[in-house]
């Protein structure tokens, strides 16, 4: 399948007090139409920055290299005006905390219609009809009545549904969801995951799902990439990567999760140490100080991301977890 969005060699440098820091260091991925593509990793791994870069949402002074081809155009070379048309209309974004991403003092009807009127030039009446349609799409009860309500009148789950409705207003091709369920309870999270799953089936929407929660990833992502310290360490179809991880970091993340069938009093297996900060990333494979399989070359050389099998790629020269066939 031809990818809808194809990112190659993305590098992002951010200015800090201590000078330029490379936060994302050579990331490649592809997003196919109607697919959920996941980016997993712990805080500080650069997963959010790598998508903010696509929409030119980084702070001033950020340096972005590489290409991001979306329907034949390179997003990273677009001018301000052209980018404004891509943002919201072609690629929309939903953030972690709907309490901060929604305007607290504006009725949600206006937050929905302003967007539709600006991008599509719709009349007030048409925008209102579309807003009701959108709220029904994300299953907000009493959609017409909800238009005059304020964000604080809704629960966390409802607010996230509204944020998704706003993102969907101009029928984007790609929805970037950055930790969309992290602030929510599991029962509510399940509803949002089902909503995203329905949207990609019904509307053929592509979703880039950013989350640290491999359980969430496992439920709806078709393929995923695991990031560590700004680089991709492993990528491939979700069933393969999570079913049989090959990078020690992916395996470690999975082992740290509580397993429902674990016998009594088994301690959780955690990765020793903590992820490095962007300013102090170790040389070679950034994971080597925490890796129990590390060899000499891990300390000195950055392992390249090489294909292993059909759609899987792995950045580990040791590949200690390969299943003998």
List residues near another protein by CB under 8 A.
42-43, 139, 141, 155-158, 185-191, 193-195, 197-198, 212-220, 238-243, 252-254, 256-258, 260, 262, 264-265, 267-271, 274-275
Alpha helices, H only, 73-155: 80-86, 98-101, 108-120, 124-137, 143-146
| Bridge partners of residue 235, in order along the sequence | 225, 313
What is the nearest approach in angstroms of another protein to the Cβ of residue 84? 32
Question: Is 110 or 312 the residue whose CB approaches another protein more closely?
Answer: 312
Is the distance from CB of 63 to CB of 127 less than 8 angstroms? no
Radius of gyration of the CA atoms of the chain, in A: 21
- Say how far apart CA 202 and CA 152 lie, in whole Å: 30
How, if at all, do strands 231-237 and 19-31 pair? unpaired
Question: Is 59 or 141 the residue whose CB approaches another protein more closely?
Answer: 141
What is the nearest approach in angstroms of another protein to the Cβ of residue 117? 28
What is the nearest approach in angstroms of another protein to the Cβ of residue 127? 24
Question: Is 54 or 217 the residue whose CB approaches another protein more closely?
Answer: 217
What is the nearest approach in angstroms of another protein to the Cβ of residue 211? 10
Q: What is the DSSP letter of 87?
A: B
- Say how far apart CA 159 and CA 156 lie, in whole Å: 5
What is the nearest approach in angstroms of another protein to the Cβ of residue 47? 12
Can you say whether residue 278 is alpha, beta or left, with left for phi > 0 and alpha for psi between -120 and 50 degrees?
alpha
- Say how far apart CA 231 and CA 234 lie, in whole Å: 9
- Say how far apart CA 182 and CA 24 lie, in whole Å: 22
Residue at token pair 């799409």: 137
Q: How many CA atoms lie within 13 A of 201 on its CB side?
A: 7
Question: Is 48 or 189 the residue whose CB approaches another protein more closely?
Answer: 189
What is the nearest approach in angstroms of another protein to the Cβ of residue 182? 10
- Say how far apart CA 276 and CA 296 lie, in whole Å: 20
Burial of 58 (0-12, 13-18, 19+ CB in 10 A): middle
Question: Is 189 or 206 the residue whose CB approaches another protein more closely?
Answer: 189
What is the nearest approach in angstroms of another protein to the Cβ of residue 323? 14
Question: Is 64 or 183 the residue whose CB approaches another protein more closely?
Answer: 183
Return all residues near 119 (Cβ < 8 A) that are at least 6 apart. Answer: 85, 88, 89, 169, 170
Question: Is 94 or 214 the residue whose CB approaches another protein more closely?
Answer: 214
Question: Is 71 or 133 the residue whose CB approaches another protein more closely?
Answer: 133
What is the nearest approach in angstroms of another protein to the Cβ of residue 222? 8
């Amino acid at each position: 399948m031809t990818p809808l969005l194809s990112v190659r060699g993305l590098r992002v440098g951010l200015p800090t007090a201590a000078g330029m820091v490379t936060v994302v260091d050579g990331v490649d991925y592809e997003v196919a139409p109607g697919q959920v593509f996941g980016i997993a990793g712990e805080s500080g791994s650069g997963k959010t920055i790598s998508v903010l870069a696509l929409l030119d949402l980084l702070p001033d002074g950020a340096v972005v290299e590489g290409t991001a081809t979306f329907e034949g155009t390179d997003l990273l070379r677009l001018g301000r005006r052209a980018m404004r048309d891509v943002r919201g209309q072609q690629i929309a974004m939903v953030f972690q905390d709907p309490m901060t991403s929604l305007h607290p003092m504006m009725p949600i009807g206006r937050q929905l219609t302003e967007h539709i009127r600006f991008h599509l030039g719709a009349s007030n009446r048409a925008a209102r009809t579309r807003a009701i349609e959108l709220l029904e799409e994300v299953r907000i009860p009493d959609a017409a009545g909800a238009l005059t309500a304020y964000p604080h009148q809704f629960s966390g789950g409802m607010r996230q549904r509204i944020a998704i409705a706003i993102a969907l207003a101009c029928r984007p091709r790609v929805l970037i969801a950055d930790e969309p369920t992290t602030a929510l309870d599991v029962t509510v999270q399940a509803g949002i995951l089902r909503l995203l799953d329905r949207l990609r089936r019904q509307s053929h929407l592509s979703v880039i799902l950013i989350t640290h929660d491999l359980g969430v990833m496992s439920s709806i992502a078709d393929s995923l990439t695991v990031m560590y310290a700004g680089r991709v360490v492993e990528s491939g179809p979700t069933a393969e990567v999570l079913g049989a991880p090959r990078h020690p970091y992916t395996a470690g993340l999975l082992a740290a999760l509580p397993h429902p069938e674990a016998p009594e009093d088994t301690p959780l297996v955690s990765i020793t140490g903590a992820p490095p900060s962007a300013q102090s990333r170790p040389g070679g494979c950034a994971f080597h100080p925490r890796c129990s399989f590390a060899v000499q070359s891990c300390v000195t050389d950055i392992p390249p991301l090489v294909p292993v099998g059909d759609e899987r790629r792995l950045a580990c020269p040791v590949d200690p977890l390969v299943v003998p066939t």
